Amino acid sequence: MRTVIIGTGAWGVAFARILAGDARGPVVLLGRDPGKCAVLSKELPNALITTDPAALAMADLVLWAVPCQFTRAVARSLAGVIPTGAAVVSLAKGLERGSLERPSVMLASELGCPVGALSGPSLAAEVAAGSPVALVCAGPPQVRQAVVERVHGGRIRIYSSTDLVGVELAGALKNIVAIAAGMCDGLGLGDNAKAALVTRGLAEMRRLGRALGADDATFAGLAGMGDLVATCWSRLSRNRALGEAVARGSRPVDLLSPGGTIAEGAWTAAAALALAERQAAELPIASQVESVLWHDRPVPSALDALLARAPKDENA
């Protein structure tokens, strides 16, 4: 039995650190950069760190820690290498621009394996430090069982769900709300405004999820409210930090340049709006975030547009 983690970003490394440190069977971390892998090999002596895809040959559990916008290309390059019987679990949180697909849909299409998703409030630095964390795994029964058997225990608690659509949508959409929450911080609007924005952001997440067949209850759980709270308030949140920096005057084009820190919500905002248009679902906060990041709308103007909306029923 072998667990292979694909992706040497903060999330992939955090998982490798925890699983290898707890001696939960052989753990492999697969990356692309030989130099980075050499450094990680010294930091994680209990894991095999490699750039060789052949390490996937014996995998029965694959944890996919590749950012959403790169998932399809990397999966296509590994097609035929990952055993078809392996359980593949996406740790990515986003929607692909263009196709508007969730990570599990891309992975299932490219790899032909059973695919699930693992999500919840999980700031990588805290997980790597060994802080307690609770996550929810959604997907086919064999995938959920593999994750519970291999990942649950110690300071990681795993819950199960059959709502793969809801778990992935919640994880993707909360990043957009976190950017807006960061903008509240950057403008110094205070806790009342931020709490209102996050609450209405959750309503948007649930609205689009409902249109796509997700369970409302998922958005009140770990993948929804749990991750939303962590991402919107933590100083470790990249999406919240992006929104704060833009509100303080930084140019989005500079913050989103290649090689910078990846804040998935920036790309998810555009994809979510296109998906919402297909479903005739209204996403006013996501719309304003997208207009600020990709169309140079000033943050105060976006705030004014939200405040100028007509009154409506809270549960509409």
Mean pLDDT of 74-83: 94
Rounded CA-CA distance 135/109 in Å is 25
pLDDT band at 1 (very low <50, low <70, confident <90, very high): low
pLDDT band at 21 (very low <50, low <70, confident <90, very high): confident
The DSSP code sequence of 32-85 is S-HHHHHHHHHH-TTSEEES-GGGGGG-SEEEE-S-HHHHHHHHHHHTTTS-TT
pLDDT at 5 over 90: yes
Rounded CA-CA distance 169/17 in Å is 27
pLDDT band at 24 (very low <50, low <70, confident <90, very high): confident
pLDDT confidence of residue 257:
66
Please state, as a whole number, how many other Cβ atoms lie within 10 Å of the Cβ of residue 117: 32
pLDDT at 84 over 90: no
pLDDT at 247 over 90: yes
Mean pLDDT of 146-173: 96
**What is the set of domains in the chain, with CATH numbers?**
3-162 (3.40.50.720), 165-307 (1.10.1040.10)
pLDDT band at 253 (very low <50, low <70, confident <90, very high): confident
pLDDT confidence of residue 261:
58
pLDDT at 118 over 90: yes
pLDDT at 258 over 70: no
Q: Which residue would you say has higher pLDDT here, 159 or 23?
A: 159
Rounded CA-CA distance 295/252 in Å is 10
Give alpha helix (H) positions in the chain: 10-21, 34-43, 68-78, 103-111, 124-128, 141-151, 164-187, 191-211, 227-233, 238-247, 252-255, 265-279, 284-295, 299-307
pLDDT confidence of residue 260:
53
Q: Is 174 tagged catalytic?
A: yes
Rounded CA-CA distance 134/174 in Å is 17
pLDDT band at 216 (very low <50, low <70, confident <90, very high): very high
Q: Active site residue: 36, 93, 174, 312, which one?
A: 174
Q: Considering the chain, what is the average pLDDT of its residues?
A: 95
